[in-house]
Each structure stands twice: as structure tokens, then as C-alpha cells.
A and B are shown apart, each in its own frame.
Chain A
Amino acid sequence: MPKAKVSTKILLQKTPTGIEGFDEITFGGLPKGRPTLIVGNAGCGKTLFGMEFLARGAMQFNEPGVMMSFEETAEELTKNFSSLGFNVNDLIARKKLHIEFVAVEPSEMEETGAYDLEGLFVRIDYALKSIKAKRVVLDTIAALFSGLTDETIIRAELRRLFKWLKSRGVTVIITGEKGIATLTRHGLEEYVADCVILLEHTIVERSATRRLRVVKYRGSSHGTDEYPFLIQETGISVLPITSLNLEHTVSKERISTGIERLDSMLDGKGFYRGSSILVSGPSGAGKTTVAAHFALAACKRNERVLFFAFEESGNQIARNMLSVGMKLEPFIKAGMLKVHAARQTAYGLEMHLATMHKLINEFKPKIIVVDPMSNMMTSGTVPEVKSMLVRLIDFIKVSQITAMFTDVGTFQSGETTGVGVSSLMDTWILLKSLETYGERNRGIYVLKARGMNHSSQIREFVITSKGIILIDAYSGADGVLAGTARVAQEALDKASKILRNQETARKHRESKRKKLSFEAEFALLKSKYENEEDELNRAILQETVGEDALLHERYKIAGLRSSDLIITAEHKGKRKHGR
């Protein structure tokens, strides 16, 4: 953008229109000091474009403007345009805007010879001077052709008029009805060669879409696409409202998903703030419940949440979520949670986008939920919806809003979104219905999560009266076991565990018993040994006593035989013992 500005500045000065989005696609606005032709069918917003150009010029750029209206009177214009929130009377009073009604009534006009349009010149000149105008809108000068019959004069005068306006250095908008063979019905493009903008109001599949295209812009680059635009309460806004660049700041802050174990699947911390999250799954998978968890968690953190509900009303969501233990009602009442419910078919795609933009700008939420995104499909063709979502996602990313989109995926390939916006999403949580053994259970897994080490496991989750609870799913050769199959597997596991426990206990007991029996044996042996030891000691004692007694006997006998021998023997014996 800045680059483009610099280069075009040298080539061509531009007058910003102030119209939302328009200055972006033309890289600065309309060619300054030159006429621009706005072409379109009746009711496509030509007059409004002109009026907004003037009003915004006066309010935002301090460039007063003159409206030369050939079709509507000043009162009508004022009334119509005031309903769009512009204080036209105030602008007129402050000499920022001048509306001049130029009546071209063929019935009142009789042509009696040669004439010129000096009257118009004088009036424009007077109006320009009276408020020092820098901008002029001629809406629509083609009316001259219906009021006056001499086309040669009109064409000559128009040529003179535009030359004259160019010399005055005012930026001019001329509006013109779209022609069949030519761009405009009266060939106004002949006189205005610098910039031509085409407005269209087409009906596709019964829904109306306004489009704007820069057909031609001499000396400047411009967006060449057909841009959808809207006429809303605040005037025209051309989309894209934000330019598609990937330069938004990113946050490292993490926010909870509102489901404890889902947080732990996402690196233990939850989503990144400002990221966009896609929750996809078939109908009945629990997408809205996941979204409600997320919203509720945000409300509890004191963050504003804007919930776009395209299937249910706010009350219905609140009631349904109450049944799974989420009290949204108090937050809705407190103004923390705003539910905007609308049928997708209620109005066109652009209007939806604009409404969302407007609500986001007004409510300034931290979190938005779009439930479901896939319903947008009904209000436009695929590329349209995609481009709208790109713009929406871009817008909310720039605004640092965390957004959760739910999507009913076409589940054949499993990993595609209906609108094909998955590449725009930072985190993608897939809800899966697991059909096994004649029942349907819910599985959840994180398909992608940019910038985090997320879990790759499929978990089963159940929606209880306390909300979503994640359960470890059994992953086996046959896939994920869920529901009763899981319960059965759990029971099987439990039984085998009991068996194992019993076995262990038995072994414990056996070892204890063995120990006891060893101990008993040991005690027996010990007592046996003690017995034997006793025996042996007694024997030893007996033997010693016996020997002594024998010796004693011998001495006794010897003593009996001779008494003197006794003394010596005794003496001898004593000596012998002493040794």
C-alpha cells in the first residue's frame, strides 16, 4: 500500500473519497481535479456514492462539495441521505455542502432557436464560489438529454463543461445510466475518459449483491476485480474492508478452550489468542457444545464474547447448554455474551459480512464464535463464500480476536471443510463420530495446531450434565474403541488385573509359608543339635571323671598295698597334673 501511494503520487494526485474500502482498491481515491464517471442501472447506488463522496469530503478532508442534482430535489436528497446518518443540513449550514436542484422538465420547455447551457455553467460556478468547493457531483447530467431535444448542442456543451470543470481544478463525479450498446445510455464516457466506475446490482440465486468495478483509471493502477459493496446504515462500504495482508501482530498468550483435557491436548495451555479455530464434525457431534465451552470460559475470564448463531436462537442455545451444565444466561444478561442469531438466508452474503463487521466493531469482543460457518454456503456461491470468509478471518485476526468457527464437514475425506478454508485456520479440532458395535460415540482430536506441540491421540468424549468430558480412548488394531466397546475393554482389563493381583497375593503367601516352614525346620535342627551337643558334653565329662576315678582307684589300691608309696605317688601325681 505505501509503495503504491508513493508511485502514484508522482503520476497522479488523488482525492480520497472516504468511502470505506474504495480508496483502497483505487490506491487513494478518485483522480484529483478530473471527472470520474459512475455508471450503473437504476437503484445501484450512484447518487449515494456521489453524496457520500461529498459528505465525507466535507467532514473528513475539509473539501466542500457541490451536488448538482438533476433528478432529486435538495429536500429529497437531504432526507434520503440523512437517513444514512449524515447530518446534511448541518453540512449545508456550515457551507460545506451545497445542493443545487436542476430541474429539467421537458413539458415546461419550448425550444425556440439556438441556445447554450450557460445557465448551468453560471449555476455551477456560483455554487462553487459560494462555498469554495473542491468537489462536484453531477447527478445525472444525462437528464439533459431528456429535457432538451437538440443533442448536438448538448454534446457540444458537455464537452465545454468538462473542459471548464477541469480548468477549475475540481474533482467531479458524473453519474450515468448504464446503456445497452454503450457504457452509458447517452455516451457520457466520451467526455469522461479518466476514470470510470461501474456499479452493478445483480441477483444471484435470488439474493441481491451489489458490485463495484473500476473499469478504467487513467494513469493509475487499481484493483480490477468486481468488488462487492454494501449500502448500510453508515453509507457505502466496499469490501474488502481490510486489505489482505499477513502482517498482523501475533500474540503468545494462550487461552483455555474451556475443556480441561482439551487444553492438555493443546500443549497443556489451550489456543493462542488471536488465532482462528475450526471445529468441524458431522451434525450432532457436539460442535456447538464445544463452542459454548469456549465461550463460557472466556466469559468467566471476563472477556466479551460475540456468538453468531446461524442455526439456533440465543435463547435456544442458552437452554440447550443449560442441559449440559453450562449457564450462559447470566452472562447474556450481564452483557458479556452477545448472541446474534440470524438465518443465513435472511440476507445476502455481503450483508452478513457487513453486519458481522459492524457488530464486532460495536461490541468489541475478545472472542467470536460463528456457528456454523458452513451455513454461509446457502447464501452464495463457493468462491464468494470463501472470499467472504477470508476477509472476515483477516479482519478478526487484525483485530486480535480469537475466533472459533464450527463447520459441518463433508465427511467422506474426513479432513476437508465445506468451504475449503482450512488453510486459513490456525487450529483445527475435528469431532468424529465413531460407529462401532451398533452404536455411535464421539471422538475428538486435534488435526492441526499451528505453533504448538499438540496431542495426536484420538480421545473419546462424552457430553454429560457437567459438560464435555474427555476420556482416554482405546486405540487398538481395529481403530479406536469407544462407548460400550471401551467399557467392555475396560472390564476385561479390570478382570485381568484382579487375576494378576490374586496371583501375586498367592505368591506372597506362599513365600511367607515357605519361610515359616524353613524356620520351623531350622528350629528343629537347632534343638537336635543342642541335644547332641549335650550328649557329647556329658560323654566328655563322664570320660574325664572316669579317668580321674580310675587313677584315683589305682592310687587307692596302691595305697592299700603300701602306705609310703601313697605319699610319693600322691606327690608324683600332683606334679604330673601340675605340668
Chain B
Amino acid sequence: MGAKKTKEKPPISRKAKSPKKTAKWQLHLFVAGMSPRSQDAIANIHKLCEKHLIGRYKLEVIDIHQHPLSASVNQILAVPTLIKKLPPPLRKFVGDMSKTEKILAGLDLRMEERND
């Protein structure tokens, strides 16, 4: 439900690659303002996706300062938080997304699926 809302009026749809088909990975990144940590997280996740999920993902970046309700709807506690909406199961990652291996494992990205 929250995803829909953010989809309808995508706040900062930075560098979100529109997928050719339906994107297999739908990711939402919640940040609080454009703090250095937010920027780090955005850069890190973008790098990761481009490297491993190219063409198969959709990333939305949401600033909870501007969309406080979305923080509540998506149960955001810590920021930055990345939510893997699809594929199921739903999973959350908090932090500046610097631990790539952990994220890759959490994204259910098997070795053979990686782009490298």
C-alpha cells in the first residue's frame, strides 16, 4: 500500500532505471534529507544495482522529511533504509549501504544471477 502511494507521486526518482519488462527487483530507499550519509547510501546502492542488477531493477529514493507519512506507512525507523519490495520476502536494510556483500545476500541474488 505504501509502495503504491510512493509510486503515484514519486518524490525523488533519482537515477531510477525504468525497466524494459517488469523489473524483478523493486527497491525503495528511504533517506532523511540530503545529508552526507543519505548521499553515501544513494551512491552505494546505485552502484550496487548498476553492477549487479542492471536492467532488472527499479529504485525509488524517498526523503522522509518531505514525505513523513511514507516513513510511517513503511515502518521506517532508522535511516537510510532500503526496502526490497520485490521479489518476496520483503526485506529491510539499514545503514549507508556500504556492506555490499550483506545486501547482495539479502537481495536473494544468487551468484549466477549476478551481472559480473
Contacts and interface: CB of A to CB of B under 8 A. Distances in A.
**Binding partners A and B:** yes
Interface of A: 100-104, 108-120, 122-123, 125-127, 144, 147-148
A122 B106 contact: no
B94 interface: yes
12 contacts: A103-B77, A111-B93, A112-B82, A112-B93, A112-B98, A114-B95, A115-B94, A115-B96, A119-B79, A123-B68, A126-B68, A144-B77
Interface string B92-105: 11111111001100
Contacts of B82: 112
A126 B94 contact: no
A101 to B, nearest CB: 8
Contact of A112 (B79, B90, B96): B96
B71 A110 contact: no
Contacts of A123: 68, 71-72, 76
Given A113-B99, A114-B37, A115-B80, A148 B75 contact: no
B32 A111 contact: no
B52 to A, nearest CB: 14
A112 B94 contact: yes
Contacts of A122: 32, 64-65, 68, 71, 76
Given A100-B72, A126-B71, A112 B32 contact: no
Contacts of B103: 110, 112
Contact of A108 (B65, B71, B90, B102): B90
Given A112-B93, A112-B97, A122-B71, 18 more contacts: A100-B72, A101-B75, A109-B94, A111-B95, A111-B102, A112-B96, A112-B99, A112-B103, A113-B41, A115-B80, A115-B95, A115-B96, A116-B79, A117-B78, A119-B78, A122-B64, A126-B68, A126-B71
B43 interface: no
B57 interface: no
Contact of B64 (A101, A102, A119): A119
Task: Classify the interface of chain A: helix, strand, loop or mixed.
Answer: mixed
A119 B30 contact: yes
A103 B32 CA distance: 19
A116 B80 CA distance: 8
Given A110-B92, A113-B95, A114-B96, A119 B81 contact: yes
Interface of B: 30, 32, 37, 41, 44, 64-65, 68-69, 71-72, 75-82, 90-99, 102-103, 106
A122 B78 CA distance: 10
Contacts, number: 97
B26 to A, nearest CB: 16
Contacts of B94: 109-112, 115, 148
Contacts of A103: 75, 77
A118 B102 contact: no
A77 to B, nearest CB: 15
B32 A126 contact: no
Give the 6 A-B CB pairs with smallest separation, nearest first.
A113-B95, A126-B68, A118-B32, A119-B76, A113-B98, A113-B96
Nearest to B81: A119
B77 A119 contact: yes
Nearest to B66: A122
Given A112-B97, A119-B32, A102 B106 contact: no
A111 B68 CA distance: 22
B104 to A, nearest CB: 10
A78 B94 CA distance: 30
B71 A119 contact: yes
B39 to A, nearest CB: 13
B46 to A, nearest CB: 14
A120 B76 CA distance: 7
B106 A110 contact: yes
Contacts of B91: 108, 110
A117 B81 CA distance: 10
Contacts of B68: 122-123, 125-126
Nearest to A102: B77
A126 B68 CA distance: 6
Most chain A CB neighbours (cut-off 10 Å) among B30, B44, B94: B94
Contacts of A147: 77
B64 A108 contact: no
Contacts of A111: 93-95, 99, 102
Nearest to B106: A110
